[in-house]
Amino acid sequence: MPGPVAVGLVGAGPWAQMVHAPMLAAGPETRLAGVWARRPEAAADLAAKHGVPSFDRYEQLLDNCEAVAFCVAPDAQVDLAIAAARAGKPLLLEKPLAGSLADAERLATAVAGAGVPSMLMLSYRYAPHVRRFIDEARGFEASGARGGFVGGGFLPGSPFAFGWRLERGALLDLGPHVFDLAEAVLGPIARLRASGDPLRFAAVLAEHESGAVSTLSFSGSVAVDPPRVGLELFGPRGTMALDALAADWPEVFATIRSEFAAMVRTRQPHELDAARGLHLQQLVAEAGRDHPTLPG
């Protein structure tokens, strides 16, 4: 019987420290095989906390693992993930897939061409209560919805208030989560219109193929603690509400680890894969097409 999947971790920033490294190291389905990051000292510090090696060269990490998990900025993920896919490694990818739609297309095409399975770190979609809500909502016949992702993750003092999030704003960072949830409940988005400023507060009106309409709000720059993440549905039967943040996070991360390991072992595609990431990036690009912080 095969042992735990040996997963190499790319990245050593706050999210890698808080989530990816402990999740993969906890097992039993996976083991952390080592860490590589563009800052060798950060990789060494994180690896030492988990008693695993850090690697000076990315190629060394690829040589010492069965699969690769990414926790890097969107622009950095693209070429690193393409190299891993071409090396035959299944991928645990961060959202958004890339910094631009063109790069997302390049990555998704490379993953498909390499024939490796992939899974996207859309954390809310692995929460049992979110999955139950999606199942129940499919029979609810919603006419419309309101929701979004509003919080203070970009404000001073937050561990995420730096780099690409401050430069690109909420649509690129938070949009994949919200668009994914809205489509899971209401069906594919046919058209959308956006207004506001992704660096401060943006709103999107989405028309779904089902005929339902959703209004979605996005901000990482408001002092709301905890953040508001979810959807409220309206229809002939009344309302249904989802607080996506009300999750048992250890259980969520255990589910991600288990499903990723199963995907690696079976080589079967996952619903939330690179192709799904490309679709969500297309929605982000459409929503941000008139804003200079979100290049197409």
The answer to the question of residue 283 being in a domain is no
Domain count, the chain: 2
Total length of the chain: 296
Question: Alpha-carbon Rg of the chain, whole angstroms?
Answer: 19
183: left (phi over 0), alpha (psi -120 to 50) or beta: alpha
Same-domain pairing of 171 and 106: no
More confident residue, 2 or 100: 100
The answer to the question of residue 115 being in a domain is yes
Query: In which element (H, E) is residue 270 found?
Result: none
Same-domain pairing of 112 and 145: no
Answer yes or no: are the C-beta atoms of 104 and 34 closer than 8 Å. no
For Cα atoms 288, 220, 179, give the angle at the middle one, nearest 5 degrees. Answer: 50
CATH value at residue 86: 3.40.50.720
Distance CA 236, CA 142 (A): 7
Same-domain pairing of 197 and 238: yes
Same-domain pairing of 158 and 238: yes
Same-domain pairing of 254 and 242: no
Range of the domain at 258: 5-122+249-272
DSSP class per residue in 46-104? HHHHTT--B-SSHHHHHHT-SEEEE-S-HHHHHHHHHHHHHTT--EEEPSSS-SSHHHH
The answer to the question of residue 288 being in a domain is no
Same-domain pairing of 96 and 151: no
Looking only at the bridges linking them, the beta strands covering 118-120 and 201-208 are: unpaired
Same-domain pairing of 185 and 261: no
Same-domain pairing of 257 and 228: no
Per-residue pLDDT tens for 185-211? 999 999 999 999 999 999 999 999 999
CATH value at residue 143: 3.30.360.10
Same-domain pairing of 102 and 42: yes
Per-residue pLDDT tens for 264-276? 999 999 999 999 9
Per-residue pLDDT tens for 133-173? 999 998 999 999 999 999 999 999 998 888 999 999 999 99
Same-domain pairing of 177 and 84: no
Same-domain pairing of 179 and 204: yes
How much is the pTM? 0.95
Same-domain pairing of 242 and 141: yes
Looking only at the bridges linking them, the beta strands covering 91-93 and 189-197 are: unpaired
